[in-house]
Every structure is written in structure tokens, then in C-alpha cells.
Structure 1
Amino acid sequence: MIRKRSALPAVLAVAAALAVGGCKGGDLGTSGSSSAPAGPAGKAAHGSALAAADALTVKGRAPKTGYARKEFGSAWSDTDHNHCPTRDDVLKRDLRDVRYSSGDCQVAAGTLARDPYTGTTVKFVRGHSKVDIDHVVALSDAWQKGAQQWDRTKRTALANDPLNLLAVDSSTNRSKGDGDTATWLPAYKPSRCDYVARQVAVKKKYALWVTGAEKNAMKRVLSGCPTEKLPTG
């Protein structure tokens, strides 16, 4: 009896601790939860990418029927009328030690000092390049989330918007395909907040919707950087 009486307070203390712990951690294992984690790291700052992600419209993915690259206009159109194709504009923006074929338009060579998808240094040589210009929001993904309802002018604008374009490692870009945040993220983790914020910015700017899984994935990444601002094009 003495042994039972002395053990009772310890048993009660353990039970109380488990109850408290269960209250604190009860939501962490909830499958598919879209709520941000508790505490400062989960609070969306005003004007942040996290707040913008939370406001994106959620719908199901539409069929890919009818999609073709030509539906987004000619590749690398000069939409800003600076007499340089969009591809060269992005190369000039993202590469270092840029050299030109002639004048200051066609980029002949340069260095991607830190590829945002792998964190590595990649050399660009025109005609033998290991650098691609990636559509951060893939055009086929945009097609299935609202762009098929647009006119050709708006689709061309999306395809050539610097906000939606990054110079990246070519092999990694091709493995990404048309993945959204729910299915693909850069292996180089320091780039993930900026990458997801850029996807949110594009989808907000063009009123593209997201799937439920995509929105949850966006919020999971951005809850780790709640003050990350939306990039501007």
C-alpha cells in the first residue's frame, strides 16, 4: 500500500504532462492541414508572400486539352519593345561577366554564378549552353489553372514576363517539367522561399488559381520565411 500511495503522484504528473503535450502538438500530424504553424515563424507579415498565398483562389486542375506552346505567342517575343528578345533580357539580368555577339543585345556568353535550383555555378555559351530560361509558373500549369480562358495577348504577356522567368541549370529545369509547388521544389533549399514567393506573385498578378495541395505546399514553405516579400517584375 505504501508503494502504491508513493507512486500515485508521479502517475498523475505524467498524465498531466501528456495531456498538455497533446494539446500543444495535436495539429502537427493532421494530414492535409493548410493552417500555418503556431508561433512567429507561422504568422504571415502584412504584404508578405505568405499572406498572398493564403488569398489565392483554390480550384481543381482543369484538363490540359488544347494546350500548345504556340497558344502563348512566339517564343521570346520583344514584349517590352527594347529591340531585344525576352530571352536575352533575362540572360543579361541573371548572368555575370556577360559578353555579347554584337552591340548589347544578343548574349554570347556569361556565368550563372549561383543557379537558383542547384546552388552551383553554370557557364553559358550560346549554342552550347547549359543554361535555360525557366517559366517559374509553367505555361502548361497556367493553362490548366485559368490561362486557357484568356486571349492570346495576355498569354503572351505571361510567357514573356520577367517576373515569371529565371535563368537556371538546363538539366534541372527539364526534370522540373510543368510541376507546381506541390510536386516540385528546388533541391537548393536556400532558394525555396524566393522561388515559391515568385510563383505566388505570378499567380496573384495574373489571377491564376491553385489546387488545394499546391496552396498547402506554398504555405508550408513560406511559413518558414513569413516576412518574404512578393518579388516584382
Structure 2
Amino acid sequence: MITKTLRALACASLAVLPLAGAAPAHAETVTLTGGIKALPLAAESREGYQRTAFRHWIDEDHDSCSTRAEVLIAESRVPATIEPGCKVTAGSWFSYYDQLTVTEPGALDIDHMVPLAEAWDSGASQWTAARRQAYANDLGSERSLVAVTARTNRSKADQDPATWLPPAADSHCTYAADWVATKLRWQLTVDQEEAAALNEVAATCGPTPLDYEVAP
């Protein structure tokens, strides 16, 4: 599996790891503001949504480690303690949403940067089950999945930036960039309120480069 770099604490640190084995032809670099403009506007619809439409936390490479475990192992700032069956029992994680260091994996959730319900609203309702599974377990970009405190993840729930931003104001630029890059990677849409909120954040971030790679 791809090893994730430590998520940068500063807003300017916005690099994306390439998907292993993927051709680089789809790699793109834009500014945060340009990335927001590139997202197509569309009304959202949650009709027919079920969380079970996105099969997640699978063991795609059959190494006994689920997607959740892979993220915990990759994002730990020290070598994670792993027991048989790929049970992660200790490590050190930085939850950038609230800028807290966590050493108990049970206190962490793995957040889908763009929540599953939001992805459904924004175009995933038209995808195949296989593509929704790929989205829900995307280890090809360090932005797609992030280990954060359970309380911030559950506070966020399925909200977009129009109604929720991380409690740590210093993380807003990074969060907006991660959100936009994820939507660009998966060719998802935004609604007007969401775009307005993203532009409001971007206006405080300065010239922010944003790299992403379109998902295969």
C-alpha cells in the first residue's frame, strides 16, 4: 500500500501522492481558487442514498489490513504497534481538524474527506457499486481519508463546508484544499452554497497551489 506522508500542519503543504501503478497523464496542478472554479455546479439530491451503497474498510490487497488499519499505520507519526490480524493497538496521530495528538487508535475515526452521503449527492449516485467501493477505500491520495478524533468526525457527519469547518481555524485552508482536490479527483460537483463557502475560505489562504490526480 502507498505510505502516506505526514499531513502538513500549514495551509501551504498540499502535495498528493500518486496512485501506485497509475499513469501520470491525469495529474493536474491548479490554485485553490482555480480548483473551486473548475468544480461543476449542480443541485444536490440524496434520493436513494444508503450508506451500504459504499462498501468500505475492505482488505483490497489481502494483507489482513483493512483500509482503516492501512490509514492508521500510514498516518502514525511513530511506528504503529500492530498485533496479529493487523489490529493497530498503539501509535501517535495528529488530528489536524482540532490539532490534537492522539495515542489511542480507538479514539480515532477515519474520515472520508468528502463524506459518503455528500459524494452520493454530488454524482456518486450514478456510479457503479465497484466505483463507489473504490471511492470509499481510496488509498491513492493522502487527502481522501484522514485519521481524526472521533468527536470531530461525528460533529462533521455528512456536512459540506457550507455548514461545517474544522474547529481549528488554522486548518481551514488545508481542509478546503483537501475537499476541493478530492472532488476534482473523483469528478464530483458542488452546489452554490458549498462553492460560496469554499471561496470564502480560499480568500483567506493566499496563492495556494493544489495538486491532484484524477481517479482511474
Whether the 8 Å contact between 2:112 and 2:144 is mirrored in structure 1 is: yes
Q: 1:150 aligns with which of 127, 130, 142?
A: 127
Are 2:36 and 1:53 aligned?
Answer: yes
Q: CA deviation at 1:123?
A: 2.2
Distance 1:93 1:221 in 2: 28
Q: Name the larger-Rg structure.
A: 1
Whether the 8 Å contact between 1:196 and 1:218 is mirrored in structure 2 is: yes
Q: Normalising by the residue count of structure 2, what TM-score does the alignment of the two structures yield? A: 0.77
Q: CA deviation at 1:231?
A: 5.1
**Residues 79, 199 of structure 1: alpha-carbon distance in 2 compared, 3 angstrom cutoff:** farther
For residue 179 of structure 1, what is the amino acid of its counterpart?
Q
Are 2:91 and 1:110 aligned?
Answer: yes
**Residues 176, 101 of structure 1: alpha-carbon distance in 2 compared, 3 angstrom cutoff:** same
- Give 1:66-145 correspondences, 5 Å limit: 66-73=48-55, 75-79=56-60, 83-97=64-78, 98-102=80-84, 105-112=86-93, 114-125=94-105, 129-145=106-122
Q: CA deviation at 1:141?
A: 0.7
Q: In structure 2, the residue corresponding to 1:47 is in which secondary structure? A: strand
Q: What whole-Å deviation, never above 9, does each CA across 1:164-214 have from its counterpart, x for those lacking one? A: 110001011111110001110001112111111111111111111101110
Bigger strand fraction: 2
Distance 1:157 1:87 in 2: 14
**Residues 228, 102 of structure 1: alpha-carbon distance in 2 compared, 3 angstrom cutoff:** farther
Distance 1:96 1:72 in 2: 29
Q: Greater relative contact order: 1 or 2 (C-alpha under 8 angstroms, separation 6 or more)?
A: 2
**Residues 80, 224 of structure 1: alpha-carbon distance in 2 compared, 3 angstrom cutoff:** farther
Q: What whole-Å deviation, never above 9, does each CA across 1:95-147 have from its counterpart, x for those lacking one? A: 223111138x43221122x311111222224xxx1111001100001111111
Q: What whole-Å deviation, never above 9, does each CA across 1:30-53 have from its counterpart, x for those lacking one? A: xxxxxxxxxxxxxxxx72222111
Structure 2 residue ranges without an equivalent (≥5): 1-28
More displaced, 81-90 or 182-191?
81-90
Whether the 8 Å contact between 1:48 and 1:226 is mirrored in structure 2 is: no
Distance 1:81 1:227 in 2: 42
Distance 2:146 2:128 in 1: 24
Q: Normalising by the residue count of structure 1, what TM-score does the alignment of the two structures yield? A: 0.72
Q: In structure 1, the residue corresponding to 2:147 is in which secondary structure? A: strand
Q: 1:216 aligns with which of 196, 202, 211?
A: 196
Q: CA deviation at 1:82?
A: 5.2
Number of residue pairs the alignment of both structures matches: 181
Whether the 8 Å contact between 1:119 and 1:188 is mirrored in structure 2 is: yes
Structure 1 residue ranges without an equivalent (≥5): 1-45
Whether the 8 Å contact between 2:185 and 2:212 is mirrored in structure 1 is: no
Partner of 1:32: none
Identical amino acids, percent of aligned pairs: 39
Bigger helix fraction: 1
When the two chains are superposed, the root-mean-square deviation of aligned CA atoms in Å is: 1.9
Distance 1:174 1:139 in 2: 13
